[in-house]
């Protein structure tokens, strides 16, 4: 699954097509177990069969528990359980940013949907027309996931973005970094 969203075929078929799917999930689905739809939508909201989650602790737990198989299927992994999920855009979202002007050079800290706070790696920034800013963030398992900036973070960071000759740059006291304009697929794979 190269595009971070589930393909148009059935969720069950898409999950079973992943050769690296955990054996317990493969066995259950192959034996006819139902696959209830759990989705992280394009705005970073969790849904079960279309109904938004409302319990804040469950939402936090799910954001912290996303993993990806080698074959590209996203799972919620809360040992000893794993469950396939649909990710409509990115598995992480930048909710807010915090700028530490005392740091030399200036440091931009990301407050991420999994509860982590981590420095922005400006070399991973990209812009998708009609979608916004994307970057890469670290996970607790040593992976790097794409993350989309939600509106509050996007607007805060935009104060430091310059437009020069149809190109965008992040400008801080620490330097100036280009922000390439890319497709959604490119933002997911950068």
pLDDT tens for residues 102-154? 777 778 999 999 999 999 999 999 999 999 999 999 988 888 999 999 999 99
Quick: pLDDT tens for 7-21: 334 678 888 999 999
pLDDT of residue 35: 85
Quick: pLDDT tens for 41-74: 999 999 999 999 999 999 999 999 999 999 999 9
pLDDT of residue 105: 74
pLDDT of residue 5: 45
Judge residue 106's burial from the number of C-beta atoms within 10 Å of its C-beta, 0-12 exposed, 13-18 middle, 19 or more buried: middle
CA proximity to 127, closest of 158, 88, 165, 100? 158
Region of poorest pLDDT, from 76-85, 144-153, 170-179: 170-179
Q: In the structure, what pLDDT confidence band is assigned to residue 6 with cuts at 50, 70 and 90? A: very low
Distances (CA, A) of 83 to 3, 14, 63, 154: 19, 14, 13, 31
CA proximity to 122, closest of 62, 171, 177? 177
Whole-model pTM: value is 0.86
Distances (CA, A) of 63 to 9, 76, 77, 163: 25, 8, 10, 33
User: For residues 62-80, b (16+ Cβ closer than 10 Å) or e, as one string?
Assistant: bbbbbbbbeeebbbbbeee
Taking residues 15-30, what's their average pLDDT?
A: 91
CA 142 to the chain's CA centroid: 15
Instruction: Show the tokens assigned to 147.
Output: 């993350």
**With 90 as the cut, is the pLDDT of residue 33 above it?**
no
Percentage, residues of the chain above pLDDT 90: 69
Q: In the structure, what pLDDT confidence band is assigned to residue 38 with cuts at 50, 70 and 90? A: very high
Q: How far apart are CA 190 and CA 36, in angstroms?
A: 30
User: CA-based angle 14:58:80, to the nearest 5?
Assistant: 60
Average pLDDT, the chain: 89
Contact between 59 and 46 under an 8 Å Cβ cutoff? The reply is: yes
**With 50 as the cut, is the pLDDT of residue 3 above it?**
no
Q: Where are the alpha helices (H) located in the chain, listed in sequence order?
A: 11-16, 23-30, 56-64, 151-158, 184-189
User: CA-based angle 26:35:18, to the nearest 5?
Assistant: 40
Find tokens 């804040």 and name the residue: 56
């Amino acid at each position: 699954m190269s595009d971070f969203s589930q393909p148009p075929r059935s969720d069950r078929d898409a999950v079973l097509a992943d050769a690296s799917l955990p054996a317990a999930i493969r066995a259950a689905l192959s034996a006819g177990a139902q696959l209830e739809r759990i989705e992280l939508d394009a705005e970073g909201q969790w849904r079960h069969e279309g109904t938004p989650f409302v319990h804040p602790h469950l939402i936090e737990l799910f954001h912290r528990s996303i993993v990806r198989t080698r074959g590209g299927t996203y799972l919620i992994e809360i040992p000893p359980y794993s469950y396939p999920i649909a990710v409509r855009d990115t598995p992480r979202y930048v909710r807010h940013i915090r700028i530490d002007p005392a740091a030399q050079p200036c440091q931009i800290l990301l407050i991420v949907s999994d509860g982590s706070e981590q420095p922005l790696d400006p070399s991973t920034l990209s812009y998708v027309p009609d979608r916004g800013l994307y970057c890469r963030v670290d996970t607790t398992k040593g992976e790097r996931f794409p993350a989309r900036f939600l509106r509050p973070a996007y607007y805060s960071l935009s104060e430091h973005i310059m437009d020069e000759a149809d190109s965008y740059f992040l400008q801080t006291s620490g330097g100036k970094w280009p922000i390439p304009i890319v497709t959604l697929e490119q933002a997911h794979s950068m």
